[in-house]
């Protein structure tokens, strides 16, 4: 007999990346290291497996596309990990989209934005996030997934 036991679909977490993050590992290694975005994606899928969640990992250079994905998360995802790149410091639209979804979101930055230029110290999306992780490199994505998976388990 084949194993036909029902297995529930793991909760889906959107991992959204903003402008220029497609260049990760290819330029400015002194700030962002040598790890590519494909490496970060592989790390997220691996970590998600251990946490019993699934990941939809995406990158866009366009603010409106990020807003659309956040809207989509309202019905499709149980959580959002967001590295909005430079839109972090400018985008009221992304903050409003996060507020509109009601889906728990964690903001992640590879670099320690607080050690950098003053304009990187402010984040609009952070006002709509349950937490912020900065300066831990790709591990920040793993920690954000762990925190969201923990919240899901408790809820």
d(CA 70, CA 101): 7
d(CA 48, CA 149): 9
Q: Encode 107-146 in three state secondary structure.
A: EEECCCHHHCCHHHCCCCHHHHCCEEEECCCCHHHHHHHH
Catalytic status, residue 32: yes
Does the protein bind ligand CA2 through residue 85 (CB under 6 A)?
Answer: yes
Residue 50 beta carbon to ligand CA2: minimum distance, rounded to whole angstroms: 23
> Closer to ligand CA2 at the Cβ: 78 or 133?
133
Catalytic status, residue 109: yes
Residue 87 beta carbon to ligand CA2: minimum distance, rounded to whole angstroms: 8
Residues that bind ligand CA2 (CB under 6 A): 20-21, 23-24, 27-28, 32, 83, 85-86, 88, 109-111, 113, 120
């Amino acid at each position: 007999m084949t194993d036909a036991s029902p297995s529930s679909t793991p909760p889906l977490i959107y991992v959204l990346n903003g402008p220029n993050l497609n260049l990760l590992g290819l330029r400015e290694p002194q700030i962002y290291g040598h790890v590519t975005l494909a490496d970060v994606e592989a790390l997220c899928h691996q970590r998600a497996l251990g946490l019993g969640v699934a990941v939809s990992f995406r990158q866009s250079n366009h603010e409106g596309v990020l807003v659309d994905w956040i809207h989509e998360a309202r019905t499709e995802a149980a959580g959002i990990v967001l590295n909005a790149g430079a839109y972090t410091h400018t985008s009221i639209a992304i903050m409003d989209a996060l507020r509109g979804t009601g889906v728990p979101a964690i903001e992640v930055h590879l670099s320690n934005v607080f050690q950098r230029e003053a304009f990187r110290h402010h984040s609009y999306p952070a006002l709509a996030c349950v937490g912020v992780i900065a300066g831990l490199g790709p591990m920040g994505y793993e920690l954000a997934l762990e925190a969201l998976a923990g919240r899901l388990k408790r809820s």
